[in-house]
Amino acid sequence: MIEQWFDAMNDTLDELLSRYPKASDQEKKDLTEQWNVLKSISDDIIEAWLRFEDKMALFRTLTQEHDIAAQAHDYSDVLMGPYVKGQGYFKLQMFRDAAGQFEETLRLEPELNIARLFLAMCRMHLGHFPEAQRHFQLIAALADEAKLRAIAYNALGCIQAVGANLKLAESYFRQAAETDPTFEDPKRNLESCRSLSAKGPLKLQFGSSEMQTLVMT
């Protein structure tokens, strides 16, 4: 139907083009009036088409946004699956299983610092101190959240204390306490380091209670 209508418009315009060069002045005036009618129709068609294209573009945008949101939702489900499982294992103190889930989480989202913190804590509980230290150092350097950095500093202090590097351990404990003044474990650990000779074996607080507050319920 639209093609037939345009064919008729084109036929009329072809006739104007063929007649105009040989037309008399009056005929040229009549032909010009017909052209003005065609021009008016053409302008109306173009304006209507542009409005139609705007709506088409709006619909394309809406469908693209929907697709992006759906992909983000699907990705969130994929990401949160191992993370939630990891926290469940962590609560049960099944640190080896928890570590595997947090490693999968970081494979999906390497910059998720809280997952890295849980992984580092698992590694520390398993006695894998070099790997735990590497993760804690990344968190202390890169995390925006003061609580995460404080837990990381405290854990780094514990690792150094276990290795009998008490001066460095004390430095980390002080950084932890300064980063989060409400965090009691580094204060206790600092006092334990200072009174080691007087009170016997070193007793360390790894920050387990703070970690439990980060577990999703």
Summarised one tens digit per residue, pLDDT across range 151-208 is 999 999 989 888 888 889 899 999 999 999 988 888 888 888 877 644 556 777 777 6
Summarised one tens digit per residue, pLDDT across range 55-95 is 666 666 555 554 444 444 454 555 578 888 888 888 888 99
The verdict on pTM exceeding 0.75 is: no
Summarised one tens digit per residue, pLDDT across range 86-142 is 888 888 889 999 999 999 988 988 888 889 999 999 999 999 999 999 999 999 998
Question: Between vectors from CA 122 to CA 142 and to CA 149, what angle results, nearest 5°?
Answer: 25
Number of other residues whose CB lies within 10 A of the CB of residue 108: 15
